[in-house]
Amino acid sequence: MRALRFDRFGGPDVLRVAEVPDPVATDGTAVVAVRSASVNPSDLKNVAGSMEDTVLPRTPGRDFAGIVVDGPPEWRGAEVWGTGGDVGFTLDGSHAEYVRVPVGALARKPARLSFEEASAVGVNFVIGWLGAVEVAQLGEGETVVVFGIAGGVGGAVAQIARARGARVLGVDRFAPAEGTPAAEIVDEFVPFTDSAEVADTLLKHSGGRGAEVVYDAVGGVTTAAALGALAQRGRLVVISAVGTPTVEINLPDFYHREARLLGADSRKLDVTESAERLTLLTPYFERGEFRPLPVAHRFGLEDGQKAYSAVADQVPGRVVIVPESRS
């Protein structure tokens, strides 16, 4: 089969299309013919050497949607979707014609979604669910502030929050694009400028109380504003660090407010654990309650470098690789 490969770290130019042996299902594994695989910022960081535990040489790619072509009889022909913190790092990933995964990682794709749409869900919604629901335990009637509301994770968190009965305030450099799920959900949008100004505006939008949950999908440059927007006993979820890996915290203010700083990392969920979350999310997608960001750019495997460059250039919408497998 053809697969994108890299044997050294660097920019998109280190990626090449190579012919590698077709994966074969063994006891406890299955082979999926990849119909579509999205390219995430973490895939770009992985190729650049900015992520931990990557074993070279490697085929990158975390998210995928496709058809089971080898494995248990009851799964053959099934349309599935997946993602994982090990896929593309210690296991060969989805930017290939086929990917082999544990049988426990197979999750049936929502029929409502195309392969391209389904491949754009994984990382964004798994980390969104992990941070908002499992870690922060966002509840009905609470207010959540989402930093990075216009991005894939931010848009996922907004939808999850609305499904949980929460009020959604959004922060980003630019407002969510018209027609995106976040644009339709956000109750108030605040452009990110000065941290103190953003925090003050968010406090006003929350009646001076602050938000019970702040989900910071940016981190670093936004941390001061995120902390400033917290309510008494508020929970701040951090999944990233942009601009700086270190921040200063006013400790007396932090403990007087009995605030909580919480980390969430989808890399800690392997492909099987991630499938469990996707299965929980499936009914929301089947009902049309959740939607991924629109797929805006499609590339074949031979244009893999261009796909990664598009993500590096922060093009709007999702970027997917669409292999043409032989199955």
pLDDT of residue 310: 97
Q: Architecture of 124-266 per CATH?
A: Alpha-Beta Complex (3.90)
Residues 38 and 293 sit within 8 Å (Cβ to Cβ): no
| Whole-angstrom distance, CA of residue 84 vs CA of residue 326 | 25
Tokens of 128: 């969104």
Classify residue 305 by burial, with Cβ atoms within 10 Å: 0-12, 13-18, 19+.
middle
pLDDT of residue 237: 98
Global confidence as pTM: 0.95
pLDDT of residue 172: 97
Return the closest-CA partner of residue 93 out of 83, 104, 103.
83
pLDDT of residue 326: 47
Residues 265 and 126 sit within 8 Å (Cβ to Cβ): no
Residues 181 and 197 sit within 8 Å (Cβ to Cβ): no
Classify residue 89 by burial, with Cβ atoms within 10 Å: 0-12, 13-18, 19+.
buried
Stretch(es) of the chain classified as CATH 3.90.180.10: 2-121+292-321, 124-266
Residues of the chain falling short of pLDDT 50:
326-327
Distances (CA, A) of 292 to 31, 122, 209, 272, 299: 25, 9, 31, 21, 18
| Whole-angstrom distance, CA of residue 76 vs CA of residue 67 | 8
pLDDT of residue 325: 52
Residue-wise pLDDT for 3-31, tens only, equals 999 999 999 999 999 999 999 999 999 99
CATH class of 2-121+292-321: alpha beta
- Please report, as a single letter, which amino acid is at residue 199: A
- 25: CB partners within 8 A, 6+ apart: 31, 70, 71, 100
Per the document, the length of the chain is 327
pLDDT of residue 234: 98
Helix locations, 58-211, DSSP H: 115-119, 122-129, 152-163, 181-185, 195-205
Tokens of 25: 């299902």
pLDDT of residue 324: 79
- 159: CB partners within 8 A, 6+ apart: 128, 181, 182, 185, 284, 289, 290, 291
